Chains A and B, each alone.
Chain A
Amino acid sequence: MPTDRNLIKKEVATYAQALLEAAKGSDTIFAVEAQLAKALDVVRSHMKLKETLADGTLDGSVRSAIVQEVFADFDPALKAVLGLIAERGDMGLLSRISEAYTLAAEEATDTVVVDTTTVVALTDELREIIKKKLSADFKGKNIVLREHVDPSILGGIIMSAHGNRVDASIATQLENARRVLSTVPNGGER
């Protein structure tokens, strides 16, 4: 893996652009974007897999084969690029590649990808309501929702895009209420 920052940036952009071109061809830009995010989650959450893919003593083709096997049901173009990244020993760049791809995809399609987290899965009707609201926020751009279900937020919704976040979850509101209750000065008595 290169260490020069400009070289890394170029390499990341190259991977993202290659993937975007492949996805454009099959009109699966945001499906690939979602699968790429999922692949990143998988690699981050499985320490053994992460260590294996970062192991420089292993042959590149072995690492590529492992990736192909793990993400067998992913888009073929994405699978091919992931294999290439693993073979070249660049799995450490996956997070940046994912971000670069998302930005490139958004730019190419005049779209904004928004992550949503809710306790229950969204209905189509609710999706439309959310997209409409977000489209208004982003000056008429298309909105693609990347949905996550997480019961720990207790209720409500968390939305995030481009590093910004709107947390309207019940868990956060309860935490805020708890903090206010804990820190509010004791009144009524001197």
Chain B
Amino acid sequence: MSAKSVTGSKVLSVSLLASVSALAAPAIALAEEEGGGGIGLLIPKMGEFLPALVAFLVLLLILGKFGWPIIVGALDKRAAQIKDDLEKAEANRIETERILAEHKAQLDEARVEAAQIIADAKSTGEAVKSEITAKAQQEAENMIAKANQAIEAQKKQAIAELQGSVADISASVAGRLIGHDLTDAEHLKLIERYVAEAGSLDAN
């Protein structure tokens, strides 16, 4: 505690004592006069009033000289401090609001960015999905087409082989039948018919 405040508190104590003494004197006087009754009870007696007034004035003088400036100084100091604190608080509030606004803006920006990223990811995902699906579908179609072609080729080959075999067997059987079954006379008749049907041997 500072020396000024110690002095202040002493002065305050003296003033309080004086005030109490001054105020106590009329109270004692009033108690002694209680026996009179009526309006006289409310009107102070001069013999009591003057000392009280003097005491009051002395007290007021002391207070005005020593106590009041200290009180006012303390109050001013306190007010200045409070004002300073309020200004600081206001500055802090403004700063906080600014930071909050900044953070809010950053948050909003981050939210927008996140939303954009999610949208982009969704879009990319959809595109990739579509591409993969299309590719898979194309591959499946190609595989089916190739399989169909292979089946068709094998089928044609099998039919051609079968056809060839049938043709070979038919020609062979026909040849054997003709070779064994035709008589000489029939052969001669056949030769005669073929000679009649044959084209010219002279190419010139």
A residues lining the B interface (CB < 8 Å): 114, 118-120, 122-123, 126, 129-130, 133-134, 137-139, 151, 154-157, 159-162, 164-166, 168, 170-171, 174-175, 177-182, 184, 186
Task: Determine whether the beta carbon of A138 is less than 8 Å from that of B175.
Answer: no
B142-194: which have CB < 8 Å to A?
A: 156, 159-160, 163-164, 166-168, 170-171, 174-175, 178-179, 182, 184, 187-188, 190-192, 194
A170 lies within 8 A of B178 (CB): yes
Is B3 part of the binding interface, using a Cβ–Cβ cutoff of 8 Å?
no
B47 within 8 A of A: no
Given A164-B203, A168-B194, A186-B156, verify A181-B187 contact (CB < 8 Å).
no
Closest to A165 in B: B201
Check A137/B201 contact, CB under 8 A, given A123-B188, A126-B191: yes
Q: Which residues of A contact B194 (CB under 8 A)?
A: 156-157, 168
B14 to chain A, nearest CB (A): 131
Contacts of A129 in B (CB 8 A): 192, 195-196
Minimum distance in angstroms from A133 CB to a CB of chain B: 5
Chain A to chain B: the 5 pairs with minimum beta-carbon distance, closest first: A181-B167, A168-B194, A178-B171, A137-B200, A178-B167
Which of A123, A130, A138 lies in contact with B195, CB distance below 8 A?
A: A130
**Are A166 and B182 in touch, CB under 8 angstroms?**
no
* A130-B195, A164-B203, A168-B194 as given contacts; A155 in contact with B182, CB under 8 Å: yes
Decide: B195 and A154 in contact? CB cutoff 8 A.
no
- Closest chain A CB from B154 CB (angstroms): 13
| A-B interface pairs (CB < 8 A), number | 99
| A164 & B175 in contact (Cβ 8 Å cutoff) | no
Cross-chain contact A174 with B174 (CB below 8 angstroms): yes
Contact B195 A119 (CB under 8 A): no
Write out the residue numbers on chain B whose beta carbons fall within 8 Å of the beta carbon of A174.
Answer: 171, 174-175, 178
Query: Which chain A residue shows the least CB distance to B164?
Result: A182
When the two chains form their complex, are residues A156 and B166 in contact, meaning their CB atoms are under 8 A apart?
no
Contact A168 B198 (CB under 8 A): yes
Offer 13 A-B interface pairs, CB within 8 angstroms, sorted by A: A118-B191, A123-B188, A129-B192, A133-B195, A155-B178, A157-B194, A159-B195, A162-B202, A164-B203, A165-B201, A181-B167, A181-B170, A186-B163
Residues of B within 8 A of A (CB): 156, 159-160, 163-164, 166-168, 170-171, 174-175, 178-179, 182, 184, 187-188, 190-192, 194-203
The listed residue (A134, A154, A178) touching B201 by CB distance below 8 A is A134
Docked Cα-Cα span, A157 to B189, in Å, equals: 11
Q: Besides the contacts A122-B188, A182-B164, what 7 more A-B pairs have beta carbons closer than 8 Å?
A: A119-B179, A129-B196, A138-B202, A159-B201, A161-B202, A170-B175, A174-B174
| Residues on A with beta carbons closer than 8 Å to the beta carbon of B202 | 137-139, 161-162, 164
Least Cβ–Cβ distance between B15 and chain A, in angstroms: 128
Bound CA span A119–B191, Å:
9
